């Protein structure tokens, strides 16, 4: 699908968020600035969370809600040993949370072989994004 603005990306996230349940894990793929955090912001809004920002410097942030949202930005872990990712102990939170992982391609199979993958790429204009979703039907 084609997304034409940040607002549309957030709205797509809200739509996805209404279909998620505890135990769901999402892998977000895309270059820097593709819209991964905007999508996650919309997922958070669907869960009643209004303060989702990029956890780049803290790596993982847990947002409390009826179903907690665990938002991971593994960008700073790229090229490090898998032990650094294991230290986050995400597996213990997955059953009761919705987990969104940005930049987690190297780690995802270890913690959630059954996951939803959302790939975001730049389109023809600066604001346009192409979004592909596998593991979930909208």
pLDDT per residue as tens digits for the range 95-122: 999 999 998 888 888 888 899 999 999 9
Domains identified in the chain and CATH numbers: 2-134 (3.40.50.300)
Question: 3 to each of 6, 19, 129, 130, 131, how far by Cα in Å?
Answer: 8, 19, 5, 6, 7
pLDDT confidence bin for 85, thresholds 50/70/90: low
Size (the chain), residues: 138
In Å, how far are 11, 70, 136 from 53, measured between CA atoms?
Answer: 16, 12, 24
Q: pLDDT by residue (tens digit) across 121-135?
A: 998 888 899 999 998
Alpha-carbon span 42 to 62, nearest angstrom: 15
- Residue 65's CB: how many other CB atoms inside 10 A? 14
**Is-above-0.85 flag for pTM?**
yes
**C-alpha to C-alpha distance for 96 and 99, rounded to whole angstroms:** 9
Q: Read off the pLDDT band of 76 (50, 70, 90).
A: low
């Amino acid at each position: 699908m084609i997304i034409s603005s940040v607002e549309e990306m957030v709205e797509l996230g809200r739509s996805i968020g209404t279909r998620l349940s505890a135990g769901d894990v999402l892998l977000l793929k895309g270059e820097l600035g593709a819209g991964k955090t905007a999508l996650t912001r919309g997922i958070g809004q669907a869960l009643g969370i209004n303060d989702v920002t990029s956890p780049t410097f803290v790596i993982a942030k847990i947002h409390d809600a009826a179903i907690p949202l665990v938002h991971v930005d593994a960008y700073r872990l790229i090229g490090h040993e898998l032990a650094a990712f294991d230290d986050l102990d995400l597996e213990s939170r997955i059953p009761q949370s919705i987990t969104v992982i940005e930049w987690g391609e190297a780690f995802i199979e270890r913690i959630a072989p059954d996951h939803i993958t959302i790939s975001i790429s730049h389109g023809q204009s600066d604001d346009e994004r192409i979004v592909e979703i596998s593991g979930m039907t909208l």
